[in-house]
Homo-oligomer: A and B are copies of this chain.
Amino acid sequence: MDAYTCICSKRDSRSYEARPILEEPLRRILQAGRMAGSAKNLQPCRFVVVEDDAKKRELATCGQFAQHIPSAPVLVAVVLPEEGREFDAGRSAQNMMLAAWAEGITSCPVTMHDGECALRVLGIPKGYRVSIVLAFSYLSPSEPLSRGARRIPLEELVHRGGW
């Protein structure tokens, strides 16, 4: 898929298909996350891949709006060192979600409001935090593609020359 089309058509979705994600596209998704630039090239992000149903259900209890995540075949937790920058996690997560979208795989970032819960479920050592959990699933062929959330007009978002 053309990069610009991929970027502009990408929709976050909470409706998933059960069939597993193949190893090759999953590897491309993770590679896309790996290739994101980061401040001072610190490469702070680590990725925990969750495909086990029991673990997905446990993780769903760690977020206020995470009830839907066990229905996604693959979850990827983006983990940062405590001093790591959320901006860098956003770059890496966006790379993964765009690479997925180019493969016909939809996704949604899900916040773990109870950070301790997420660390425990994923067995993450001290000194790290879970920035976000990304849920991935093939797009259901039977479901109409969302037109996406309405966006603020470009003219309102952009200030030319100064605010």
**Residues of chain A at the chain B interface (Cβ within 8 Å):** 1-8, 10-12, 27-28, 30-37, 39, 41, 43, 45-52, 55, 79, 85-95, 97-99, 101-102, 109, 111, 122-125, 131-132, 148-149, 151-152, 154, 157-163
Pairwise interchain contact A149-B41, C-beta atoms closer than 8 A: yes
Pairwise interchain contact B157-A47, C-beta atoms closer than 8 A: yes
With A8-B32, A99-B3 known as contacts, the answer to whether A159 contacts B47 (CB < 8 A) is yes
Copies in the complex: 2
Shortest distance between the CB of A9 and any CB in chain B (Å): 8
A86 to B88, CA, bound (A): 9
New A-B pairs, 13, CB < 8 Å, besides A94-B95, A124-B163: A3-B5, A3-B101, A12-B37, A27-B154, A35-B151, A41-B149, A47-B158, A48-B162, A55-B162, A86-B86, A87-B93, A91-B93, A94-B94
A93 to B99, CA, bound (A): 16
In the bound complex, residues from chain B placing their C-beta under 8 Å from that of A93 are: 87, 90-91
